[in-house]
Amino acid sequence: SSAAPAAGKLKIGLDHFAVRATGWKAPQLIEYAASLKLDVLFLSELGPFESHEDDYLKKLKAQADAAGLKLYTGGMSICKTARRYKPEQGTPEEYLALLIRMAKTCGSPIARCILGDASDRASDGGIERNIEECVKVLKAVKNRCETEGVKISIENHAGDMRSDELKMLIEAAGKGHVGANIDPGNAVWAMEDPLQHLEVLGPYVNCSSVRDSMVWEDENGAVAQWTAIGEGLVDFKQYAKRYAELAPGAPLNIETISGFAKPLSFLKPDYMKPYPKVGEAGLAGFKALAKRGHKIEPFKAPDGPGKKDAEIAFQKSQFEKSVKWLRENV
C-alpha cells in the first residue's frame, strides 16, 4: 500500500542528492519529503543548509518534527590524503566536529562522511594509506561522538572502498561509534554484487543511500548504469529483507542517480592495478551480475530553455518510482 509504513516496518527516506537539480534548500526538501509521506530526510552533505548556526538547525528540526520526518545529516571527505578533501573546511577533526554538532542539533543519530573516490585507490600507498588516515581521525572524535550521542556513518563512495575494506576501516576505528552508510550503487562501481556487499557490511550499517543498477558485458569487461529501484538487476525484495534483518532500525534512503553509463573495464591490463588484492574470486559475483544484464540507453535532457525542467522532472520521477516500487513490493 502507499500508506506510511507502520512501526517496525522498514523506514523509507529521501537522500536529498536524488533531486539535486532542484537546487532546493533544507526547508523545501522537508516539504517535498513530507508530501510523499516519507519517514526520513537525509541531508547527506552541507549544500542544502543555508546556515550552520544552532538557531537555524533547531528550526529545521521543528519543521521536520511537525511533518513527521526524522532528519539524518552529513558531509563529505574527512581524509586529508584523498582527492575530494577540501582544506578550506579546516582539519578533518574540525570538520567532523561541525558535522557531529549539526547532527546532534538536527536530531540525527548519525553524521555521514566519506573517504573519497576510486581515484584514491591509485594514489601513493593505495587505498590502505587513505584508510589509515581516516582511522586516525575517527579515533580522535570517539569521545565527542559518545558525549553527543552521534555515530559516524562512512559511505562506500564513488568506488573508493570495497566491502571488506570499509569493514576493516570501521573495525579499526571502533565500531562502537563508527558504522557504514551503505550504497549498493557504489558497490557496483567497485565491481561487487550489491547483495554480497550487503552481507559483508550489513551488521555495521547505520544509514544508507540506495539505488538499483543495470550492468552488462562489453569487450573490456562491463558497463554499469544506475537506475530507479525495480528497473535494474538487484533483487530489491531480497535486499530490503536482508537489510532489515542485518541493520534493524536503519532507514533505506533512496538516492537515485540515473541516466549515465560507467565503464568498468576489468579486462584492460592496467584497470585492476589499484585492486591488487581482488583476484578472480573477488570479481565472480560482479561478473555473474553482468552476465544477466543488458544494455540500456542513457538519459539526456534536451538542450535549450527546458533543459533544467526536464532534468528536475526526470530526477523526481526516478525517485518517486523507487518509493512506489518499495511500498508495493517490500
Give me the half-sphere count of Cα atoms (radius 13 Å) on the Cβ side of residue 50: 12
Extract the C-alpha cell encoding 113.
562522511
Rounded to an integer, the average pLDDT of 40-61 is 98
Given pLDDT bands bounded at 50, 70 and 90, which one contains residue 3? very low
Rounded to an integer, the average pLDDT of 207-219 is 98
Cα separations in angstroms, 137 against 98, 113, 152, 290: 14, 12, 11, 37
Q: What is the pLDDT of residue 2?
A: 44
Given a contact cutoff of 8 angstroms between Cβ atoms, the answer to whether 200 and 231 are in contact is: no
CA 186 and chain centroid, separation: 8
Given pLDDT bands bounded at 50, 70 and 90, which one contains residue 59? very high
What is the side-by-side strand order in the sheet with 221-227?
A: 212-218, 221-227, 261-264
Given pLDDT bands bounded at 50, 70 and 90, which one contains residue 8? low
Give, for 310, the enclosing helix (H) or strand (E). helix 307-329
**Is 70 exceeded by the pLDDT of residue 1?**
no
Rounded to an integer, the average pLDDT of 34-46 is 98
pTM of the model: 0.96
Q: What is the pLDDT of residue 9?
A: 85
Given pLDDT bands bounded at 50, 70 and 90, which one contains residue 284? very high
pLDDT in tens, 167-198: 999 999 999 999 999 999 999 999 999 999 99
**Is 80 exceeded by the pLDDT of residue 86?**
yes
Average pLDDT, the chain: 96
Q: What is the pLDDT of residue 264?
A: 98
Percent of the chain beyond pLDDT 90? 96
**Is 60 exceeded by the pLDDT of residue 93?**
yes
pLDDT in tens, 215-234: 999 999 999 999 999 999 99
DSSP letter, residue 210: B
pLDDT in tens, 254-276: 999 999 999 999 999 899 999 99
Q: From 258, 240, 251, 243, select the one nearest 320 (Cα to Cα).
A: 258
Rounded to an integer, the average pLDDT of 87-112 is 98
Q: What is the pLDDT of residue 269?
A: 84
